[in-house]
Amino acid sequence: MNDDVRALLDIPLVAFVVRLIVVTAVIWLIATFTWAFTLSPVWKVAADWSGVALYVEVLVSLAAASLRLIVKDFVLSEPRW
């Protein structure tokens, strides 16, 4: 990795924002594929709503856990300035 990028990622606020963007992008991709394969009109006949509800619950739990870890890391990190 480039030294400038590494130095930039050492700043806690920048690292927090980068992680938040990555987690948001992953959640958005999972939600998009979930909609495309379970809730779109083409697949509606085969959709199992209890399975979709369970999948959404797991997705929300993963998102909450990821955000909790990011915030915990940001709050507990020592200032480097």
Q: Is residue 81 part of a domain?
A: no
| Residues 68, 14 contacting (CB under 8 angstroms) | no
pLDDT at position 8 is 72
Instruction: Tell me which residue of 80, 63, 81, 59 sits closest to 71, measured CA to CA.
Output: 63
pLDDT at position 38 is 66
Task: Please tell me the total count of domains within the chain.
Answer: 1
pTM: 0.45
Q: Which residues span the domain enclosing 33?
A: 3-76
Q: Using alpha carbons only, what angle is made at residue 30 by residues 24 and 34, rounded to the nearest 5 degrees? A: 140
Q: Is residue 58 part of a domain?
A: yes
Q: Provide the token pair at 57.
A: 């619950």
pLDDT at position 20 is 81
pLDDT at position 39 is 63
The per-residue pLDDT for range 4-61, each reduced to its tens digit, is 777 777 777 777 788 888 888 888 877 777 766 666 565 554 455 666 666 777 777 8
Of 64 and 41, the structure prediction assigns the larger pLDDT to 64
Q: Alpha-carbon torsion 53, 55, 61, 67, what sign?
A: negative
Q: Is residue 65 part of a domain?
A: yes
